[in-house]
Amino acid sequence: MTTNEAGGKELKAAGKATPRWLDSAVTFKKCTALKVSFILLGLGDLLLTVLAMYLGIWELNPLVRFLVHIPILLVLLKVVIPVGVAWIMPGRLLIPSIALLGAAVVWNIKEICAFWF
């Protein structure tokens, strides 16, 4: 029996469960749906932001407004970093971010529709 197994049995015997939510950290094998939805919502936000800027809608975020003119930095900020965050973070900790990104995507769609029609 290894030390980790013995430690886990001692914690269970003491009535404390081992933290299972950390099992999804630093992998895409667990909580895959949460991690993929985080990444896809980020990509949706990026595409809708670029579309809105193309249509002439003013970007409220000054950082993104600046980065739209430097595409490689925009891709780094909106694609590469979120993929890294999704890989490192446990899936359950991404749920608030997924909700906020979903709200941002809905807001972008609403603004584009209001501008277009």
Per-residue pLDDT of the chain (117 residues; tens, 9 = 90+): 555 555 555 545 555 555 677 787 888 888 899 999 999 999 999 999 999 999 999 888 899 889 889 989 999 999 999 999 999 999 999 999 999 999 999 999 999 999 988
- Of how many residues is the chain composed? 117
Contact criterion met (CB below 8 Å) for 35 and 91: yes
Contact criterion met (CB below 8 Å) for 39 and 94: no
Q: By CB neighbour count within 10 A (0-12 exposed, 13-18 middle, 19+ buried), where does 49 fall?
A: buried
Question: Which pLDDT score is estimated for 16?
Answer: 59
